[in-house]
Homo-oligomer: A and B are copies of this chain.
Amino acid sequence: YNVRQNESNCRFRDIVVRKEEGFTHVLLSSQTTDNNALTPEIMKEVCRALGNAAADDSKLLLLSSVGTVFCSGLEPSYLIGRLSTDRRKESSRIADAVREFVLAFIHFKKPIVAAINGPALGLGASILPLCDVVWASERAWFQTPCAALHLTPSGCSSYTFPQILGVALANEMLFCGRKLTAQEACSRGLVSQVFWPTTFNQEVMLRVKEMASCNAVVLEESKCLVRSILMSVLEEVNEKECQMLKQLWCSTKGLEALFSYLQNKAYEK
């Protein structure tokens, strides 16, 4: 069975989009990076899929992934490759792509269900509080090792993580790279339910279909009530976070830190 057979998918390279009864299913399935890592091009595909789902008759969006990793965040080797070429221009371009990617989640008006079947790292973890319901497989885990990678928080996690996890755990994730298991993420509120890996997809589908049987207006207005009061805060936080990333990427030190991270990773292999 080939997940790419659906006709609407021909327009995408690194994601799969399936139009289902009542909802749109977007799967990260990167052909150009390992572990569903994100590049500006992949983020643009996600934005485009969200734009389509916003305009069609979908009542909600299901976000998941193909493979064993949900999303490993920004691709370090891509960052280094581009930033080495033209630091000033590329740092702007990549930060802009992150800003637009995060804004697409902030502004999406229909409920987003995230189904996390494996590790969610960096930006792949930090956007989860911008989704509305988050279910995880027992195999999933969550990490945002910002400081170790010489990066500052993104995806509004500097605001949403302390809100959800408490400031102590949020900072331990950001500063010390603390890993959360699926169960920990659930008991602390990042995830609302954990399922066994073998039945994960069925459990998710069952629930998403039931949600999609609700009235579209009620779903959208309920989300509006929950989200509208914090919309402007999230926009402001996203703006600040992306400014800071751009500034770091522009600096020589930022590039060096990324380099040394990649080298350490290479040695570990």
Query: Which residues of A are interface residues toward B (Cβ below 8 A)?
Result: 111, 128-129, 131-134, 146-148, 150-153, 158-160, 162-172, 174-176, 178, 187-193, 207, 210-211, 214-215, 217-219, 221-223, 225-226, 228-229, 233, 236-237, 240-241, 244, 248, 253, 257
Given contacts A160-B167, A178-B193, 14 further A-B pairs with CB under 8 A are A111-B171, A132-B171, A147-B211, A159-B226, A163-B163, A166-B192, A169-B189, A171-B223, A171-B226, A174-B222, A215-B257, A221-B248, A225-B237, A229-B233
> In the bound complex, how far is the Cα of B248 from the Cα of A219, in angstroms?
12
Asked whether B218 lies within 8 Å of A176 as measured between CB atoms, the reply is no
> In the bound complex, how far is the Cα of B167 from the Cα of A159, in angstroms?
13
Query: What B residues does A207 contact at CB under 8 A?
Result: 176
Asked whether B219 lies within 8 Å of A147 as measured between CB atoms, the reply is yes
Q: Given A168-B132, A226-B158, are A253 and B215 also a contact pair (CB < 8 Å)?
A: yes
Q: Given A175-B211, A226-B158, A236-B229, are A218 and B168 also a contact pair (CB < 8 Å)?
A: no
- List the B residue with the shortest CB-CB distance to A233: B229
- List the B residue with the shortest CB-CB distance to A163: B163
Query: What B residues does A188 contact at CB under 8 A?
Result: 166, 189
Asked whether B187 lies within 8 Å of A187 as measured between CB atoms, the reply is yes
Asked whether A214 lies within 8 Å of B171 as measured between CB atoms, the reply is no
CB < 8 Å: which of B132, B158, B165, B189 contacts A225? B158
> What are 30 of the A-B contact pairs (CB < 8 Å)?
A111-B175, A128-B168, A131-B168, A132-B168, A133-B171, A133-B172, A133-B175, A133-B176, A150-B214, A152-B218, A153-B225, A160-B167, A162-B226, A163-B163, A165-B189, A166-B192, A168-B189, A168-B190, A168-B192, A169-B192, A170-B226, A172-B192, A172-B193, A175-B219, A178-B192, A217-B248, A217-B253, A218-B248, A221-B248, A229-B237
Asked whether B192 lies within 8 Å of A147 as measured between CB atoms, the reply is no
A117 CB to nearest B CB, Å: 16
Query: What B residues does A175 contact at CB under 8 A?
Result: 111, 132-133, 211, 214, 219, 222
Query: What B residues does A159 contact at CB under 8 A?
Result: 226, 229
